[in-house]
Amino acid sequence: AQKITQTQPGMFVQEKEAVTLDCTYDTSDQSYGLFWYKQPSSGEMIFLIYQGSYDEQNATEGRYSLNFQKARKSANLVISASQLGDSAMYFCAMREFSGGSYIPTFGRGTSLIVHP
């Protein structure tokens, strides 16, 4: 079974508008972390935001915020005031604490295109 599910293969947004990228996860661990990464066409993975399973508040980093709904096992990324440079692939990832090591798992990604 997929541990990370990103149901939106592609998303389009108008410049300056907000966009939400969906991510649901599956784990039986109590302790885990959720991440979002941006991958532009150049290929490098850029860390955007992190949410720990015990964090009570939603994580925010500048224009990025993570809408963490633990009971629903969802960790959606919200990008406010989209910019043309936000066009990229976005990956949701989870790290579970399994047997003493952190094993990262990535979703299939969402391609975001920001229109001028």
Give the binding site for another protein (CB under 8 A): 33, 35, 37, 42-47, 50, 52, 91, 95, 101-109, 111
Backbone region of residue 81 per phi and psi (left: phi > 0; alpha: psi in -120 to 50; beta: other values): left
Q: Which is nearer to another protein, 63 or 106 (CB)?
A: 106
Identity of the residue, 43 or 116, whose beta carbon is nearer to another protein in the bound complex: 43
Query: What amino acid is encoded at 46 in this protein?
Result: I
Identity of the residue, 81 or 102, whose beta carbon is nearer to another protein in the bound complex: 102
Q: How far is the CB of 52 from another protein (least distance, A)?
A: 7
Give least dist CB 98 to another protein, A: 11
Q: How far is the CB of 47 from another protein (least distance, A)?
A: 7
